[in-house]
Amino acid sequence: MAVSVVKGYSDEDAWRDYKKKYKLDYNIAGDNGKRDRARKKNFLAQMEQIKRHNSKKDNGFFQELNEFSVLRPWEKKRFLGVNASMVPSAEFLKSIPVFDLQSRQLPPSLDYRFHSCLPAIRRQGQCGSCWAFTAITPLEFSKCNITKSPVMLSEQHLVDCDTSNNGCNGGWYMDAWNYLKSKSGSAKRQLYTYTARKGACKFKSSMVGAQVSTYGYVQSKNTAAMQSALQQYGPLAVAINVINSFFSYGGGVYDDPACDGPDVNHAVVLVGWGNLNGVDFWVVRNSWGTGWGLSGYGRILRGVNRCNIESYPAFVKAA
């Protein structure tokens, strides 16, 4: 078998170091190394794709190896979680009133990443619960802004108990807020911990850490309205269309036009905007842990509805 070598560092070296970094062991008794070879094939193909992408001079973003680099496409889908059947129609979106912009000045940048009301990055794991994480973070931020004290709420409460959504099989953040508003509120995270799998509902009203006052959509495909809403309410829920290049995003401004189109399959939280080397971007908070992107955050091209990020923005306000 031919082994490629770059400056004394072979594919075998790269594979060994990758497994060591992520504490992976694919050796199974009696397997003869079959599983390891299969994962290595995925890894080398991804590494080659990343090298090709990063070698282009006009890239707006760069890619890197991470925990997704050995996964098959169907395995990566487990880390998404927007239920396409729950996404509002284009006709409905046209009915949303224009956000009040009259008295609001938009600064060149806004970044909530280091705000005291924004909790640390979390991991949804192999459970299609991004909708729950995207519903919870803006509610936590809003509640903290009222009480001036950080609050941590439970995604697992939604995964287990919200029957309008589908647990680890996907959902929609607006339906999650509707559930929380119609019930007693959102459970505290420490009283209803995350397991990355759907279980029996254990919610009790004594667990409540925040309640929903109001929620709604911001006008679709209106960047100024989204910026104004970010200033007024804090982080927003948005939906995007994730393709393979997004899984290996490492930095820069993500601008892969291949993610454009009518669909969305993942929910993230919008936490700011800015400009990098003349390129306008949104700052998004993902639910894939700190090993993805910019310590769990990413920048996506702003103003052209890249990956549908400007199609379904929504806000929530805590009681």
Q: CB–CB of 188/154 below 8 Å? A: yes
Quick check: is 59 catalytic? no
Q: How many CA atoms lie within 13 A of 11 on its CB side?
A: 16
Quick check: is 115 catalytic? no
Choosing from 130, 144, 161, 307, which is the catalytic residue?
130
Quick check: is 32 catalytic? no
Choosing from 66, 241, 265, 286, which is the catalytic residue?
286
Strands (E), 199-243: 208-210, 212-217, 236-240
DSSP string, 135-189: HHHHHHHHHHHHHTS---B-HHHHHHH-TTS-TTB-B-HHHHHHHHHHSS-EEBG
Residue-wise burial string across 111-122, b where 16 or more C-beta atoms lie within 10 A, e elsewhere: ebeeeebbbebb
Choosing from 117, 259, 266, 307, which is the catalytic residue?
266
Distance CA 17, CA 19 (A): 5
Residues forming the active site: 130, 266, 286
